[in-house]
Amino acid sequence: MRVPDYQHSLTWRGRPSPGSAGAYAFATFLVVIAGLIRWGLSFISGDIFVFAAFYPAILFATYIGGTGVGVFAALLGAAIAWGAFVPHPLGAGVEIKLLAYLVASTLIIWGADHYRSVRKRLEDEENFRKLAVEELAHRLKNKLATIQSIISFQLREDPQVRDSILSRLSALAATDDLIMAAQGKGARIGDIITTELRPYDVARISIKGPDILLPPKLALTMALLFHELATNAAKYGALSQSVGRIAVRWSYSDAWLNLEWRESGGPAVSVPHHCGFGTRLFMRALAQFDGKVDATFASAGFVCKLNVPLSDGALTSVLAVPTASTLQPIE
């Protein structure tokens, strides 16, 4: 895995590189501006602020260009102040003021350069972490593609089981992409639902609830649950008929995520007599999170309620702004 050159990638747009001619030119510009400010202050008092106006210039010059540029700015400021603003013959205490200026400039340069070093190290570590996560995600995608190929070959004689397994793997892969988009922090529940339902007739589907970022493990589990719900709705429920509709609502209260999946306008609902893998997965999925699933086969349509506790550490973000109430079609 190749680590990129952060020296160039981390510089601000339009910002000169540390120690470059542009950095020295920028330092000169700052010192000249400070000199003009000092000249303006001379109309207020000719004795105070002999060197003080140059401190901000030294600070920013060091932050932008590094130690060498900061020293250059300090010396240039001292020369301008000595030649333009220090009275001649020299007044009392001028040498002390110059010494204090040099000491203060040294501390400013050290502090600014130390801050630059710490900030750059943190940026390097953050970029390396992102690169490692992206590389890991790329390798996982390759492994997933290999697994899907093996399953397709081994189960070529049983297309129903093959397609069922492959669709679940695809649901997990889509949620993995959402987790990666959030820098590994998790996935937003609205995005998970949208991803699973978007392949269907979006005009008959509505979703609404607060913006909640679920942690990665719970996000993947919820993706499997929504995949089972969407698949069953397409095969047997509301999405199997042209007039059927699905409404998904969720809320967060008392540290619990409460979600309701409600189907209407579909075929007559009956309790299934066969409990397959999908049903067992569906009913047990939230047990590891101390959550629960309540499925009701009502005459008006299938209704499913999901409840799962979200601790302060697990719940990353809850915003009051609801998601869009209607899915957008696939581009």
Percent of the chain with pLDDT strictly greater than 90: 6
Lateral strand order in the sheet of 301-309: 205-208, 245-253, 256-264, 301-309, 292-298
What pLDDT sits at residue 227? 81
To the nearest whole number, what is the mean pLDDT of the chain?
75
- Does residue 14 register a pLDDT over 70? no
Residues 6+ apart with CB under 8 A from 176: 137, 140, 141, 220
Q: Sorting pLDDT into bands at 50, 70 and 90, what band is 153?
A: confident
- Does residue 6 register a pLDDT over 60? no
Q: Sorting pLDDT into bands at 50, 70 and 90, what band is 292?
A: confident
Q: Sorting pLDDT into bands at 50, 70 and 90, what band is 248?
A: very high
What pLDDT sits at residue 247? 93
- Of 46-60, 118-132, 178-192, 305-319, the poorest mean pLDDT is in 305-319
What pLDDT sits at residue 191? 87
145 within 8 A of 173, measured Cβ to Cβ = no
Long-range pairs of 57-60 with CB within 8 A, sequence gap ≥ 24: 57/27, 57/30, 57/31, 57/33, 58/105, 58/108, 58/109, 58/112, 59/108, 59/112, 60/30
Q: Which of 100-104, 144-148, 199-203, 324-328 has the largest mean confidence?
A: 100-104
- Does residue 322 register a pLDDT over 60? no
The stretch 66-90 carries a mean pLDDT of 81
pTM score above 0.95: no
Q: Sorting pLDDT into bands at 50, 70 and 90, what band is 330?
A: very low
Domains parsed from the chain with CATH numbers = 6-125 (no CATH), 186-322 (3.30.565.10)
What pLDDT sits at residue 259? 94
- Does residue 200 register a pLDDT over 50? yes
